[in-house]
Amino acid sequence: MSFFQWVPMIASLTMALGSTTVAEAASAVPAPAVDFGPNVILIDPTTPDAQARLDALFAQQERAQFDDRRYAVMLKPGRYDLDIKVGFYTQILGIGRSPDDVSVTGAVRCKADWMNGNATCNFWRAVENLSVTPTLDHGTDVWAVSQATALRRVHVRGNLALWDRGWSSGGYMADCRIDGAVVSGSQQQWFSRNSNWRRWQGGVYNMVFLGAPNAPAGEWPAKPFTTIDATPLIREKPYLTLGSDDSYAIVLPPLGRDTRGTTWPNEKTPGRSLPLSAFYVAHAGRDDAAHLNAALAAGQNLLLTPGVYELSEALRVERPGTVVLGLGYATLRPTRGTAAVAIADVDGVTLAGLLLDAGEIESPELLQVGPPGSRASHAADPTILSDIYARAGGAAAGRCRAFVTINSKDVVGDHFWLWRADHGKGVGWDVNPVANGLVVNGDDVTNYGLFVEHTREYQTLWNANGGRVYFYQSEFPYDPPSQAEWGNDGRGYASYKVADGVTSHSASGLGMYAVFTHAPVVLQNAVEAPDVPGVRLRNMVTTRFAGQPGSGVAHVVNGRGDAAMDAKPVRQ
């Protein structure tokens, strides 16, 4: 929403063993250095110029909304006195085993000074796996953000504010602990999963709490709160760690069912560690699609360092259990009209931390999970998609038929933002066309924190049974040129569409917002779904933020709910 390598790592070692055993010699050898590339900034507690480096990075990225530069800042275990300001395309990572292994006193924050406090364009930034004791901003850590932003495995030893004087418009928090209060302020919508706090204060349109033991009291529609006791199925996002021997590993948390609160109440998250030797460490500009696919075919996982990867073909993930993890908003951009990633119909794939950017030649989709007609069950070991962002336009003109198509069964999506750009470069009804954001053709697919915006037809189209969605945020396209030209017999396209033949589906906490700037368009329904017992839709809201006089939404769902023709929210 907005208002306004293939380079193999080679380590050579010459040893005079004498009477030393091979095992003893190996244990005495330092781990080989890892080439993370120039856009990974590694800091430890003794780094003398850490604050100056962080300030310079923020000065560069504070306003870089459509820049191609990407960064990950890694903090080694230890204690820091720092003010870490987080700009565009920047990921701050603690690389300890527990969030409290990296302790920052000062701030790890995102403000909106560049837009005079308006945080509705504070996209594409993340903080993971660290603790912060806020001493600035009156002892409150400020995280004033909107879409494509994540707090994961963060311990705030104080209060957390989700706004910065002006509007903020959506964000995501998972596996976090806030010792004090969370103050949402003007935050219009927010999704919190498996997180704890002492007190939650405020809410505007749509706040969803899943597996959060201390969710705020209050019920819809008097309060904009949707509370679900437990998260039915999740495997937390993998994270990078640094061992005492200076060796890196990726921790894969286990699959959890009906979970509440954080995975680290006793400091360490359960899980298994994969050594970095199990990963191909990729670099934008050095590695093309052929190199990356060769690594995948050889049985390696992928760690994509920050940058923009121009892909002449889709990355093909065909081995069960493969992990593809992006650092610093690693961006995949198809150049020949293919998908960016195509996952086979296999068990247990993890895809995380990626920005998929549509190219000038239309792609059928940017992410395909399972080929059409996929039939295998993956209930015991589902594919998990964490922090997956897609866009068309903004940085440059781009087009695709759909952002994400899920054909496999039992897939879990954990935080998507699928955005047809409404501002920036390459923006227009026929300049960056995207029909659908998410299309689901596989049974028993679950999504936590689904943000889809501005596509020209149904933004979310659910064609299969057993779907579950917890939190949905969407804006209709700003730019339909006229009522007649918005298809569907001039009625416009619902944001959330459950196909007519579906007999089982559930969705909780849906917020859909109208800003029709090009014509006095009236959409008939924000949501359309079969009116059958097995389709359950709970806690929906729509409103008109701005736009042409006479524009808005006639009904919330299936002809029910008052018209939203002004700024007053309509709840159903």
Instruction: Quote the CA–CA distance of 165 and 159 in Å, as a whole number.
Output: 16
Say if residues 521 and 549 touch (Cβ distance below 8 Å). no
pLDDT at 17 over 50: no
Instruction: Quote the CA–CA distance of 468 and 178 in Å, as a whole number.
Output: 28
Look up residue 283 and give its amino acid.
H
Distances in whole angstroms, Cα of residue 70 to Cα of each of 57, 276, 313: 10, 21, 22
| Sign of the CA dihedral with 268 first, then 274, 277, and 281 last | negative
Q: Which domains does the chain have, with CATH numbers?
A: 34-229 (2.160.20.10), 286-540 (2.160.20.10)
| CA-wise closest residue to 177 among 262, 258, 94 | 262
pLDDT per residue as tens digits for the range 485-498: 998 888 999 999 99
Distances in whole angstroms, Cα of residue 466 to Cα of each of 208, 249, 361, 572: 21, 36, 34, 22
Instruction: Quote the CA–CA distance of 550 and 516 in Å, as a whole number.
Output: 10
Q: Which letter, b or e, does each residue of 183-217 get, where b requires 16 or more Cβ atoms within 10 Å of its Cβ?
A: bbbbbbbbbbbbbbbeebebbbbbbbbbbbeebbe
pLDDT at 12 over 60: no
Look up residue 281 and give its amino acid.
V
Distance of CA 280 to the CA centre of its chain: 23
DSSP structural state of residue 112: -
Q: Are strands 446-453 and 467-475 parallel, antiparallel or unpaired?
A: parallel
pLDDT per residue as tens digits for the range 168-198: 998 999 999 999 999 999 999 999 999 999 9
At 25 the pLDDT is 31
Residue 30 — very low, low, confident or very high, per pLDDT cuts 50/70/90? low
> What average pLDDT is seen over the chain?
93
Phi, psi of 293 (to 5 degrees): -70, -35
Instruction: Quote the CA–CA distance of 119 and 114 in Å, as a whole number.
Output: 9
Structure tokens at 457: 């037809």
pLDDT per residue as tens digits for the range 354-388: 999 999 999 999 999 999 999 999 999 999 999 99
Phi, psi of 92 (to 5 degrees): -100, 120
pLDDT at 218 over 90: no
Strands (DSSP E) found in 529-572: 535-547, 552-557, 570-571
Instruction: Quote the CA–CA distance of 487 and 310 in Å, as a whole number.
Output: 34
Catalytic residue among 62, 453, 475, 528: 475
Determine the longest span between alpha carbons in the chain, in angstroms: 87
| CA-wise closest residue to 453 among 426, 478, 480, 432 | 478
Other CB atoms within 10 Å distance of the CB of residue 68 = 14
Q: How many residues does the chain have?
A: 572
Element spanning 520, H or E? none
Q: Are strands 308-311 and 279-282 parallel, antiparallel or unpaired?
A: unpaired
pLDDT at 20 over 80: no
pLDDT per residue as tens digits for the range 303-338: 999 999 999 999 999 999 999 999 999 999 999 999
At 31 the pLDDT is 66
Q: Are strands 301-304 and 323-334 parallel, antiparallel or unpaired?
A: parallel
313 tagged catalytic: no
pLDDT at 4 over 70: no
Residue 19 — very low, low, confident or very high, per pLDDT cuts 50/70/90? very low
- pTM (predicted TM-score): 0.94
Say if residues 447 and 418 touch (Cβ distance below 8 Å). no
| CA-wise closest residue to 414 among 383, 374, 393, 454 | 383
